[in-house]
Chains A and B, each alone.
Chain A
Amino acid sequence: MEVSRDHLVTFLLRLADDHLILGHRLSEWCGHAPMLEEDLAMPNIALDLIGQARALYQYAGEVEGKGRSEDDLAYLRREREYLNCLMVERPNGDFAHTMLRQFYFSAFMHPFWEKASASTDETLAGIAAKAVKEVSYHVRHCGEWVIRLGDGTEESAARMKAAVEALAPYVDELFETDAVSEAVSKAGIAPAPASLRSSFDSTVQRVFAEAFLDMPETAWPQTGGRQGRHGEAMGYLLAELQHIQRTYPGAVW
């Protein structure tokens, strides 16, 4: 089954935006991490995410065929044109919050890339085969921190519990289905997000059991990111991300 160009471009931009925005959030920790090793680890993970985003933007620009480059797509869109899920744009909070968010995202992306490695779309399959290996490291690294903090001191356990509560409303959006995700999954390009839920849950359960954490209960699931409706933090993030290109349009070095 063929997928329309619009659907494929929207799908690629959603995926690329998730990676760019989360990569940007993580890079905010550079120079501020609680220890030197984490000061290396977080920008390293950010580098992987932004590398994946670049490959996806390049491909989205090619498929779209309007001559937009990866930089145009990353830097020169308006807030409402970004299609990332809400979880990735949330402010970093403390270290526990950042690690849990990264763990959730990685636990979702690992089975996603694993399935996408067998995509009918050759370019996406190539990006996926590379990314799945990188994300394995992210799941493990962040999972270990969730356990270490959850099963740590009174203070660290309280912070990890608070992070579970704060991020709970943003988990379900990862698995959302709409016409775009349905079209690409029917065409064998990428897995249906909902089909990844059991894999995600089993990774989270395994880590939460060791961390003495309870699975989150979603009282108020938040949604809208995939349609470009973002939270109040997104505009500030973009102001920083786009600052150079907005101030000096077309600047290169």
Chain B
Amino acid sequence: MPDPEVPCVTVADLGILRSVEILGGVAVARVTPTYSGCPAVLAIELAVETALREAGFDARVERVISPAWTTDWITEDGRQKLRAYGIAPPAKASNSIRALFGETQVDCPQCGSWQTERVSEFGSTACKALYRCTACREPFDYFKCI
């Protein structure tokens, strides 16, 4: 099931799909949203439920908010796919409010250079920030670390 906003990765790659179990004859999928206000949550839940029904299951989707989703749940495979798609995967370090003006090193997904700069902390979707590579001059999205 591809993510509706970042279609190069599946909801399992992103760690949004937590589990699928057969409980009393019903396929129960558990889904954890990335951001409180993520507009794709409902689309993801419907898509997962539809996919299970099309595969012949009686299906139900449960939204689980605790523990909260973190970018650490993105699989290694998912990180590779993001990079190949032109989105820099999240840094592994944790996010801290003490890092005022503190910049994380983000490598350019196009040319691999570390000479990049942040254009905006907030990008085209809630989960991304906007960066620019000063080596190859290409702008790119960075999957924010939360």
- Bound state CA distance, A167 and B123, in angstroms? 29
- Interface majority SS on A: helix, strand, loop or mixed? helix
Determine the chain B residues whose CB is within 8 A of the CB of A141 once the complex forms. 121-122
Which A residues lie within 8 Å of B121 (CB)? 41, 137, 140-141
CA distance A37 to B130 in the complex (A): 9
Q: Known contacts A44-B126, A52-B36, A144-B100: does B66 contact A122 (CB below 8 Å)?
A: yes
Q: Is the CB of B100 within 8 A of A147?
A: yes
> Please, which residues of chain B bring their CB within 8 A of the CB of A38?
120
Q: Interface digits, B4-47 against A, CB 8 Å rule (1 contact, 0 not)?
A: 00000000000000000000000000000101111100000000
Docked CA distance A129–B65 (Å): 9
B119 within 8 Å of A (CB atoms): yes
B36 touches A134 (CB 8 A): yes
Chain A residues whose C-beta falls within 8 Å of the C-beta of B101 in the assembled complex: 144, 147
CA separation between A139 and B95, bound complex, in Å? Answer: 12
Residue of A nearest to B118 (CB): A37
The answer, among A44, A133, A144, A206, for a CB contact under 8 Å with B95, is A133
A87 near B: Cβ within 8 Å?
A: no
Quick check: A37 and B119 within 8 Å, CB to CB? yes
With contact pairs A40-B120, A143-B100 given, residues A47 and B65 touching in the complex (Cβ less than 8 Å): no
Partner of B97, one of A131, A140, A147: A140
Most buried by A among B99, B119, B122: B122
Q: Are B66 and A47 in contact (CB under 8 A)?
A: no
Residues of B close to A144: CB separation below 8 A: 100-101
Contact of A139 among B97, B120, B123, B144 (CB under 8 A): B97
Taken residue by residue from 19 to 55, chain A's Cβ proximity to chain B (1 for < 8 Å, 0 otherwise) reads as 0000000000000000001101100111111111011
Are B122 and A51 touching (Cβ within 8 A)?
no
Q: Is B74 in contact with chain A by the CB < 8 A criterion?
A: no
- Name A129's closest neighbour in chain B (CB-CB): B68
For the complex, give the distance between the alpha carbons of A41 and B65 in Å. 24
Q: Which of A38, A122, A125, A140 has the most CB of B within 10 A?
A: A140
Contact B37 A50 (CB under 8 A): yes
Digitize B128-146: 1 where CB-to-A-CB distance is under 8 Å, 0 elsewhere: 0010000000000000101
As a 0/1 sequence over residues 59 to 88 of chain B, the CB contacts with chain A under 8 angstroms (1 = contact) are: 000000111111000000000000000000
A25–chain B nearest beta-carbon distance, Å: 15
A136 an interface residue at 8 Å Cβ cutoff?
A: yes
Contacts of A5 in B (CB 8 A): none
Interface string of A116-138 (1 = CB under 8 A from B): 00000010011101110110110
